Amino acid sequence: MSLSLPRENVPPRRRRSFENSGLTPYLYLLPFMLLFLVFVVYPVGYGFWVSLHRWDLLAETRPFVGLEYYRNLFDFSTPQAQFFWNSMRNTGFFTILSVPLLVAVSLGLALLLYRPIFGRSFFRAVFFLPGILTVSVMGILWRWMFDNQIGLVNAVRTDLLGLQPLPFLSSEGLAWIPVVVGTLWWTIGFNMTLYLAALGNISQSLYEAAEIDGATAWPKFRFITWPLLGPVTLFVFVTTVLASFQLFGQTLVITNGGPNRTTQSAIQYITEEAFTNNQFSSAAAMSFMFGLAMLIFTVLQFRIMARDAREGT
Amino acid sequence: MAAPARDLPAVATTRDAPPRRGPRDVPRFLLLCLLALLFLAPMYWMITTSIKPETDVISTPTQWFPARPTLENYREVLTSPDGNILRWMWNSFFVATVYTVLHVALCALTAYPLARMRFPGRDAIFWFILGSLMIPGVITLIPSYLMMIRFDWINSFHSLIWPGLAGAFGVFLLRQFFMGLPKELEEAARLDGANSLQVLWHVILPLSIPSLVTLAVFAFMGSWNNFIWPTFVITDLDKLTLPVGVNTFSQRYVTEYGKLMASTAIASIPVLIAYLLAQRYLIAGLSTTGMKE
């Protein structure tokens, strides 16, 4: 690569004076800051303003109501409060159910795959590929896999195992299975790749030393692999939790929040309140409550991460 | 399937792992085969369902292999009056491309002074931008939608491009990379009489291609896969993006799984091609994210 520049393109004197004016860095930052203020900073304040007023798309006036919409969220005689906290509980339930599986299974796959084996690249591609599909494709696919009558899962149950078909999509409780299994299939490849990269960075000499001491597979994993994977595990854990909180597409497409709102996620209910019921102020208040819960959780996780990092060194 | 995967293991090199291929590997191999089978089952079910006539889709006992293969479902989905899947694909491609180019350019312009210039307020501005990563996206969903109404951007691609452009992650990624570049190169260019824009264009950016490509891949994937936001700001059938469009099919053909599977298969093809082209960067970018600390 040539670093010398065509000098005739550079008029030195005028450039110097401008470059020295001290404004240059701010000019570079200007486009980003404009967009950032309009589309990131302003909406946060505007959303809070909306949540404090009775906001109606058609009405002329938007009276100030203070924290009424926040108080309503704790008035459990209203369907809004019931549905909102139900959707929050569902999102939390999904997170608790799926995150340990997503971390453990992706680690398991990575452990199976990081040492050379016949067809290793093929296996890696197979486990990674589902992650590149969009959420609606993944959702439609798994809705069909778990179709009550003739999906593949029930076809295997009836035709191969001689069992009764289960109405996965229309029974409370069971409807989570397609959602979690689909999510697992969809996202495990990303986490597996992170783990594979981390495993590749562990020096082989540590294992050799352990072998000289007579260590078998489990102690080697317990005392070498697992502690050295700590930072990746935390990263995978935090990003997976945050992604699980954002649950929306999977339940929308696979179960449409049903049956009986048992799989309705928080974001799905917030958008229903806004775009179906036209209750923008109420929805804004809900998103602030939900955002606050996410924020608290994130801060807690980062504090735990920081503590672990200190103890680790 | 085997060919595209050739470059995959380049990231996690096991160069110092002694090749152990003995009897111990046979159970591991068989386990992997079983898992691969489970992972591929939905794909198999998608493709075989998509080429079955609708009566065979719902026949019992189950048809494990299509007895009367047909492309009828594909023909119907591609010529459906309820929306043109190729049109949606083009919309997604157009939006994602414009978004990616603008986003990478904007982040590079922003990261450059933050990484390589000294000026009052620099660190404050950087932390202000970075702090926005803590704001959960759901908080801006409703107000942004109301803003789109006011801008008259509902059913316009503007609403899919502008609101997400100023992303803190891209600035952070590029700033970290720019900071690692040697000072000497920049000074040499300065002595040659280059101004800061020329330094950025001729020195910094050519050296940063890996991180720029990583950011571009993430930006493109993010835009292409975006589902929540376009679901609400785009309702015009002709202007839907692919994920949202495919989902309207899902609501229309609730029980016609032959057509649904044909549409999901069509929707998967461009992603597969993109994966084959970009897998190296995709996996490398993924593996370097968060590896520090």
Q: What is the pLDDT of residues B96-132, one digit of tens each?
A: 999 999 999 999 999 999 999 999 999 999 999 999 9
In degrees and rounded to multiples of 5, residue A64 shows phi and psi of -75, 130
Bridge partners of A64, per DSSP, are A53
Mutate to test the interface with A, among B103, B127, B142 (most CBs of A within 10 A): B142
- Residue contact B8–A128, C-beta within 8 A: yes
Q: How far is A77 from chain B (nearest CA, A)?
A: 25
- Residue contact B203–A3, C-beta within 8 A: yes
Residue from the list A19, A22, A121 with its beta carbon closest to the beta carbon of B9: A121
Contact B170, B219 (CB under 8 A): yes
Alpha-carbon gap, residue A181 to A201, rounded angstroms: 30
- Closest Cα partner for B268 from B222, B234, B224? B224
- Residue contact B17–A116, C-beta within 8 A: yes
- DSSP conformation class of A219: H
Average pLDDT over residues B230-250: 93
3-state secondary structure of B19: coil
Closest residue in chain B to residue A49, using alpha carbons only: B143
Closest residue in chain A to residue B248, using alpha carbons only: A136
Q: How many CB pairs under 8 A join A and B?
A: 327
Cis amide prior to B4 (ω within 30 degrees):
no
Tens digit of each residue's pLDDT (9 = 90 or more) over B159-213? 999 999 999 999 999 999 999 999 888 889 988 888 899 999 999 999 999 899 8
Residue that is written with structure tokens 């159970």 in the block = B27
Contact A124, A180 (CB under 8 A): no
- Residue contact B1–A239, C-beta within 8 A: no
Residue from the list A112, A203, A235 with its beta carbon closest to the beta carbon of B31: A112
Mutate to test the interface with B, among A53, A134, A190, A296 (most CBs of B within 10 A): A134
Measured between beta carbons, the chain B residues lying within 8 angstroms of A201 are 291
Mutate to test the interface with B, among A28, A34, A308 (most CBs of B within 10 A): A28
Contact A79, A279 (CB under 8 A): no
The pLDDT mean for chain B works out to 86
Phi-psi domain of B83 (left: phi exceeds 0; alpha: psi -120 through 50; beta: other): left
- Residue contact A10–B194, C-beta within 8 A: yes
Q: How far is B250 from chain A (nearest CA, A)?
A: 7
State the ipTM, two decimals.
0.85
pLDDT at B204: 93
pLDDT at A263: 93
- Residue contact B135–A291, C-beta within 8 A: yes
Q: Any residues with CB less than 8 A from the CB of B167 and at least 6 apart, and which?
A: B103, B107, B219
Token digits for A160? 């191969």
Q: What is the pLDDT along chain A (313 residues), one digit of tens a residue?
A: 445 555 555 555 555 556 667 889 999 999 999 999 999 999 999 999 999 999 887 777 888 888 999 999 999 998 999 999 999 999 999 999 999 999 999 999 999 998 888 888 889 889 999 998 999 999 999 999 998 878 899 888 888 888 888 889 888 889 999 999 999 999 999 999 999 989 988 888 888 888 888 888 888 888 888 888 988 898 899 889 989 999 999 999 999 888 989 999 999 999 999 999 999 999 999 999 999 998 888 888 878 777 766 665 4
- DSSP conformation class of B204: I
pLDDT at A261: 93
Residue from the list A114, A185, A280 with its beta carbon closest to the beta carbon of B146: A280
- Residue contact B113–A29, C-beta within 8 A: yes
Residue from the list B7, B109, B293 with its beta carbon closest to the beta carbon of A309: B293
pLDDT at A311: 63
Measured between beta carbons, the chain B residues lying within 8 angstroms of A24 are 113, 117, 196
Token digits for A231? 């930072």
pLDDT at B4: 39
Q: How far is A125 from chain B (nearest CA, A)?
A: 6
- Residue contact A3–B268, C-beta within 8 A: no
Residue from the list B12, B142, B249 with its beta carbon closest to the beta carbon of A284: B142
- Residue contact B17–A140, C-beta within 8 A: no
Residue from the list A40, A119, A201 with its beta carbon closest to the beta carbon of B166: A40
Mutate to test the interface with A, among B139, B224, B232 (most CBs of A within 10 A): B139
CA-to-CA separations, A177 to A97, A182, A183, A248, B255, in angstroms, rounded: 10, 8, 10, 16, 20
Token digits for B152? 């008259």
Q: How far is A110 from chain B (nearest CA, A)?
A: 10
How much is the pTM?
Answer: 0.86
